[in-house]
A and B are shown apart, each in its own frame.
Chain A
């Protein structure tokens, strides 16, 4: 009997991927846990374009006229603010989720370019302190490995309230990544599934956080800046409360932000995209008259100099990279194909950081796999990528007539879609219409 083509009509409500997921859930009885970030289609900085100078504004000469990219972070209270040569930092990624070689490669590249790296859940490793000239030390709900010596040898602290991939969720590191060293750093038994808390153990709410920040300042003798990181949800309120709590720098991580292991349902369905988050954060700072006084770092799906330039134009002081930095190190590169296949995936599709079997040696604790990422070579690749981003930012800023990347402004932007115009609050291209603002 031949199949009637009409009877092969797919369901819009139950397309093949939905059917597959229901079958998988029925077989396994547990949500999917995976790495990487949101894979769904979301409004991004691609929906904005920059308005280059012509008659009404003068562009700067490429390569000849200077376009600055340096940025100072955390000069509100700290005696030693962070001075970066480029407005791109490396976001927090834990030793445990990442191997030591990846952490070292990231530290080397960032240091060469005069920017900062960030620790993650699990504490500070000697390798990353040694390789990172400027290191931001995260204070997380789990407090794994947290100690006053590392607080004092950090260049800044970052109190993590949430992250874009899972605002409201705690950390997760599956048993096969808890090696002896990782277990010792976290004071946990080996091989267990580590579920770290989603709330800090010793404060709740902004009034407590204000005192917590005071304690961290006292312990570090008011020397270093204190950042507060939030996952993008109710951004206006969260940024306002972070500033009220005394943050020197606010980090806002959009829903495209990556993770080493989180429930897929969390990654795809909680939080808002980075695009509206930047604008909401800037508005909150402006309402408090703290824009540029408390600096704003934006992360979550930043991939290129264009993304960074647009985030800066919306009012961010710097952007931060996690996933993109890993891609520069070789994530999803078309090598070791058979190892991707063993994981049931292929180059370009991998989100298997949670397995600890990273084919390119980044998110693994396996000694043989780790050898695939030689720290110096990895550092060179990441440095090249960051340098490319900086050149792109300068190209775009000069085209808009700016002598410094931070001089980019919302006026330099226009939106290609109504959604992006509404989210970024810049006019729809070819109109002066900003949805919600004017007619």
Chain B
């Protein structure tokens, strides 16, 4: 395990080391809200960040397993491709924005636009999410164990949203959908794999009504 202290080691140097390491474990201390920590990692390494991080922590992560023992600023794990990112605290706006793959777990709450434009990742929020979450979400799963703010799933494409708590006003073209056995099984697998102590049976599923897929003047009020 190699340890860095961001009060001493610049973010640039630490990121370069993470980029140059094909294997290993790394501990990063004193993040103190710094931006872009551990972004662009492209190897099966383990990174633990002890404290709060600023913008774009673990951005575009590939393969790595990254733990944040604190809160995360905007855009955590944005455009993640694979691997996993786990946040012990809360996450700010745009968590997992446009993420293509991998798993993002937020143990606290996530702010607005969680999973915006997501493209295949799994995002699990153990608390609640803010407004406009899963906006234009294309594919993947957003699992919310708490409540969701207004406009959940606005203009959603083929992503699935699973939620335990309350939803506010749903976004345009987002509707509650049938929870089939297939959906329940796959959600159950996801929860078990990530050690989330919830039963898939309790969740409701939301997705696209597909009314906006091709322009129709009779749906113009929705645009």
Contact = CB atoms under 8 A, between A and B. Distances in A.
Interface of B: 11-12, 15-16, 19, 35-36, 39-40, 42, 54-56, 59-60, 62, 74-75, 78-79, 81, 93-94, 97-98, 100, 113, 116-117, 119-120, 135-136, 138-139, 155, 157-158, 212-215, 217, 220
Interface string A181-205: 0000011110111010100011100
A347 to B, nearest CB: 29
Contacts of B217: 28-30
Given A146-B79, A215-B36, A215-B59, A187 B139 contact: yes
Contact of B213 (A148, A187, A193): A193
Contacts of B40: 148, 151, 215, 218-221
24 contacts: A29-B217, A29-B220, A146-B98, A148-B79, A187-B119, A187-B138, A188-B138, A192-B157, A195-B212, A201-B78, A201-B98, A202-B56, A202-B93, A202-B98, A203-B74, A211-B35, A211-B36, A214-B35, A214-B36, A215-B36, A218-B11, A218-B36, A219-B60, A221-B19
A29 B215 CA distance: 11
A193 B214 contact: yes
A203 B212 CA distance: 25
Contacts of B81: 147-148
Contacts, number: 108
B64 to A, nearest CB: 11
Nearest to B135: A201
Interface centre among A149, A191, A193, A215 (most CB of B within 10 A): A215
Interface in A257-292: none
A206 interface: no
Given A193-B215, A215-B36, A208 B59 contact: no
Contacts of A222: 12
A52 interface: no
A201 B93 CA distance: 10
Nearest to B73: A211
Contact of B56 (A149, A187, A189, A215): A215
Contact of B12 (A147, A186, A211, A218): A218
A192 B78 contact: no
A212 interface: yes
A175 interface: yes
B16 to A, nearest CB: 6
B183 to A, nearest CB: 18
Given A146-B98, A187-B100, A197-B136, A192 B214 contact: yes
Interface string A216-242: 001111100000000000000000000
A197 B94 CA distance: 14
Interface of A: 28-30, 142-143, 146-149, 151, 175, 186-189, 191-193, 195, 197, 201-203, 208, 211-212, 214-215, 218-222
Contacts of A30: 215, 217
A29 B220 CA distance: 10
Nearest to B56: A215
Nearest to A197: B136
A189 B213 contact: yes
B216 to A, nearest CB: 9
Given A187-B138, A218-B11, 4 more contacts: A143-B97, A146-B79, A148-B42, A215-B59
A43 B108 CA distance: 56
B97 A148 contact: no
Given A30-B217, A146-B98, A218-B39, A202 B116 contact: yes
A149 B60 CA distance: 10
A303 B72 CA distance: 48
A202 B75 contact: yes
Q: Lowest 3 A-B CB distances belong to which pairs?
A: A219-B40, A143-B98, A202-B75
Contacts of B78: 201-202
Contacts of A218: 11-12, 15, 36, 39-40
A300 B215 CA distance: 29
A175 B15 contact: no
A201 B39 contact: no
B117 A201 contact: yes
Contacts of A208: 55, 74
B140 to A, nearest CB: 9
